[in-house]
Chains A and B, each alone.
Chain A
């Protein structure tokens, strides 16, 4: 199962990764541009969302419509997402059109039209996106949770702030693009069916001419892990809880991942069993590992009707706190199998592979191959997980609720 991963840097420092996949006819592009929410100047919160839309509105030699026609002409399925440090662009298409798609993406990044009239549309869409978040309390809860949990500005709300969005101008946003679109800090990952002999010279030709820019430092402020309530007169109380965990660079990373799977992997895991199966408190209750390069956490979500909110919260906290207790061999084995088979199955998707490779490279400076990850999961033991949990007990929780009633936090 050992796979060969193509990794090279262009002369300007841009990283290009290739993950060949047998038996697929598609190829996917994952591109991390260093213009995420945390990299944007204060007072411009939400600029990333505008930029992720604006760059699709034409290039120097293609109008808005010509660019969209060209992308869709390739049958390209595309997505863009603003993260803490990056704007993540992803696309998947029939492999025969891959090189043309890369050329179009290069034009969008290096020569976007950035037309002022189009800027106003992008801005209005970002403002409407913010408004629609008010009608999606679950999503809003999890955005607020990350904002309060991660050191500012790393957890900054990727949807933006209304006042900041209203004040943003095309000129200011152009300046942000010019300062942030630094190819030496950009990662391009290709997964699926591709020809490295063609990919390499093409990426060199398209991207290597762009000079590196000075690297930006981000100063962070440690958060107070406390409780925040967002009133919303809906049917449920949406509860978000987050607490510290080990980063991918840490020697305890795999212990942290397996521990999280014991807490909330499959339907036999502790949270699902205690909260939903035994007590019928929720339809959705789940916790997952979430990380940035600098820090990591376990983020938990549960939605429940107001009279059950406190009990739901209390049961979840209790399960976090007793995670190190009574881990048995079968439970550990199930957590490991679930994690491993999930990873193998996810690896069948070209889009998921490309995104995972780019993120890996950003955080670890290398792409882990699947075999290495599976072996490291296997190496964890009850002792290594219990030691990790005892040395890093869950003491502080950041909690957010959105709904008609508050809870009493720990």
Chain B
């Protein structure tokens, strides 16, 4: 693997990791913007804008965009989170130049009113779809409750009201302020020639005007509030718990990742043995969401309504016990093995590597070879876990539950 980096005059960073053995290549544009960068009156605009990027430019219609991607056999998509909007495509190596040229154009979209109006319906359908998906809904509501007035609690999709009221003018304004070259990183992974692809990016993006797109970073430990909402069409209890942890930039984020595995991996974890193996809950998982300057552990547990109180009681005991009774060396080793396997398998595919590379760059502004990431996981000790738990003790936590009426 060979790492490459070039910063264009206007501030756009281009990074690449070349793997000559790969059968494909992947390119992505990582824009450092998401729902945390919005205000109430434009709630959901980052995600709506992500959809609108596929509607083309002054020279390419929406249908042509889809057609060109399909002509290239691209596997392409985009996603928006609280902090990032990521556009990507994986192609066979010989198509990378063309797909790169297309992305460079799409990153400066027309945002036509007629496309905006039709796509608004699609966004409203997406909001309706997630209302029928309680696992998503409970996590979003818990995040909102946990972060309170901190921007990381903002909904990515927005609401029916905010999307209905949003205008194309507001979207254009948001685009101008956030899609500045210094706020975007172009990332390439797999089998490709960096210099060649860089030339295309420079030709396509070199004339973008720089504009400082900042972000207010503030740490917040969470509200530790509790809420339970009943819905007439539900059959199970869906529980989401959140408590503070380190940010992505914190060196201890690897420790936090391993701690979440030890407690809440889907197999052979504390949640697994005490909740799932014993059939008290059907699913119980925990993950570390290390973000920009802030972080949270999220747990999602699904059980029968009847078992809900027992689930909460056991979960609290698990959170208490990891601090009081030490985590064993075997538990830590198992978690390391699982994380390392997942990392190896994901990174063998250019599309998987692309995301890892891009996110590392966006948050850390540096390249981390896979070997370094592996070493950082291997180096975590039991004392590191104890120290992390002393600073971030898992209790008290924020709880949001969704469950059936009676």
A→B interface (CB under 8 Å): 22-26, 57, 64-65, 68-69, 71-78, 92-94, 120-125, 128-129, 131-132, 134-138, 232-236, 238, 265-269, 272-273, 276-284, 303-305, 330, 333-334, 337-338, 340-342, 344-345, 347-351
Contact = CB atoms under 8 A, between A and B. Distances in A.
A23 B73 CA distance: 23
B92 A77 contact: no
Interface stretch (B167-175, B180-188, B342-350, B354-362): B342-350
A345 B75 contact: yes
Contacts of A137: 132
A132 B282 contact: yes
A5 B340 CA distance: 28
B345 A72 contact: no
Contacts of A74: 337
A233 B73 CA distance: 39
Chain B interface size, as a band, is 35 or more
Nearest to B339: A75
Contact of A128 (B62, B132, B303): B303
B277 to A, nearest CB: 7
Nearest 7 CB-CB pairings of A with B: A341-B73, A75-B337, A280-B121, A124-B279, A266-B70, A23-B21, A268-B66
A272 B73 contact: no
Interface of B: 19, 21-24, 54, 62-63, 66-67, 69-75, 90-92, 95, 118-126, 128-129, 131-135, 232-236, 238, 267-268, 272-273, 276-279, 281-283, 302-304, 330, 333-334, 337-338, 340-342, 344-345, 348-351
Nearest to B119: A280
A283 B282 CA distance: 29
B127 to A, nearest CB: 8
B75 A341 contact: yes
A92 B350 CA distance: 18
Given A234-B233, A268-B63, A268-B69, A282 B348 contact: no
Given A132-B282, A236-B128, A267 B70 contact: yes
A74 B340 CA distance: 11
Centre residue among A138, A235, A273, A333 by max chain B CB count within 10 A: A235
A76 B341 CA distance: 7
Contact of A344 (B24, B283, B338, B344): B24
Given A266-B69, A282-B122, A75 B277 contact: no
Given A124-B279, A305-B128, A344-B24, A131 B233 contact: no
Given A73-B334, A129-B282, A273-B66, A135 B74 contact: no
Nearest to A284: B129
Contacts of B119: 280
A266 B63 CA distance: 11
A93 B23 CA distance: 21
B24 A132 contact: no
Given A25-B348, A283-B129, A344-B92, A121 B279 contact: yes
Contacts of B22: 23, 348
Contacts of B334: 69, 72-73
Nearest to B281: A128
Contacts of A267: 54, 66, 69-70
Centre residue among A265, A283, A351 by max chain B CB count within 10 A: A283
Given A235-B131, A276-B122, A334 B70 contact: yes
9 contacts: A25-B348, A26-B344, A68-B272, A94-B341, A129-B282, A235-B131, A235-B132, A268-B66, A342-B75
A269 B63 CA distance: 10
Given A75-B340, A128-B279, A350 B21 contact: no
A57 B272 CA distance: 12
Contacts of A348: 22-24, 348-350
Contact of B129 (A24, A236, A347): A236
Contact of A131 (B62, B131, B236, B337): B236
B341 A334 contact: no
Nearest to A134: B235
Given A273-B66, A342-B73, A349-B349, A238 B340 contact: no
Contacts of B348: 24-26, 348-350
A125 B293 CA distance: 39
Given A235-B129, A334-B70, 8 more contacts: A22-B21, A26-B348, A75-B340, A75-B341, A131-B304, A135-B238, A278-B118, A337-B72
A267 B303 CA distance: 37
Contacts of A266: 66, 69-70, 74
A369 to B, nearest CB: 14
Given A134-B235, A305-B125, A345-B24, A125 B69 contact: no
Contacts of A232: 233
A265 B70 contact: yes
A25 B22 CA distance: 13
Contacts of A349: 345, 348-349
Nearest to A76: B341
Contacts of B340: 75, 94
A74 B338 CA distance: 8
A257 to B, nearest CB: 15
Contact of B122 (A131, A135, A283): A283
Centre residue among B19, B90, B349 by max chain A CB count within 10 A: B349
A137 B234 CA distance: 11
Contacts of B63: 268, 273, 277
B124 to A, nearest CB: 8
Contact of A64 (B71, B73, B118, B277): B277
